[in-house]
Amino acid sequence: MATLRDIVVVDYGMGNLRSVKQALLHVALANTRISVSENAEQIANADAVVFPGQGAARACMKALNSIEGLHEAVINSAQNKPFLGICMGMQVLMTHSQENDGTDCLNLFAGEVNAFAKQPIWKPEHKIPQMGWNQINQTQSHPLWHSIEDKSRFYFVHSYFVSPQDKNMIAGETDFGLNYCSAIAQGSLFAIQAHPEKSANAGLQLLRNFCAWNGE
């Protein structure tokens, strides 16, 4: 009998958890169990972790810090096992966000989360938030891009974007008034600004790739 693979979706009260879980169930291999949990021990014991999110950075950090052990469990998982960050679950991996007049984040990676509208080269004809379909230019080869054509379209909803200090970790870029980082990858971690659970075939393929990924 194949070994059971346990994937946990982090529940901190923010994010489209049902859609994420249903999308994972749709693409996961038969030996995979998909759970949604806020329990730090369950997350720590998972084989892989999905960290979704939507809303504001300050509310996200407050929620992470209000549940016993959750902050540490997320950081440890991001450092030690296959880990997928989605939307806000990507942004709060950085050091700091401009949102809510400035919010300290998890500081897993040095970098800033910037507002589109505050950029000097911003084109005001682009309406904020970016809401809808846009292309991702794959800037590095990665197992999670397997069978996804370069410049495939994904679904976005956001007003802020990440700017990691280490540009080598950028795995995808998108143009929306400026060219910005829309995916990052380092070690066993991958994070994407778009919502793969809402991104039709390309998004489902990315989730399928994650479910099969051993982090290498």
Residues 6+ apart with CB under 8 A from 210: 48, 50, 82, 84, 144, 190
Tokens 């970790």 sit on residue: 169
Active-site hit among 38, 60, 87, 211: 87
Distance CA 176, CA 130 (A): 8
The DSSP annotation for 70-136 comes to HHHHHHHHHHHS-EEEETHHHHTTSSEESGGG-EE---SSSEEEEEGGG-TT--TTS-SSEEEEEE-
Contacts of 206 (CB under 8 A, 6+ apart): 144, 145, 148, 192, 196, 199
Catalytic residue among 60, 99, 181, 197: 197
Q: SS3 breakdown of the chain: % helix, strand, coil, rounded to 5?
A: 30, 30, 35
Annotated active-site residue 125? The verdict is no
Active site residue 197: yes
Which of 38, 60, 195, 211 is catalytic? The answer is 195
3-state SS, residue 30: coil
For the question of residue 105 being annotated catalytic, the response is: no
**Positions marked catalytic:** 87, 195, 197
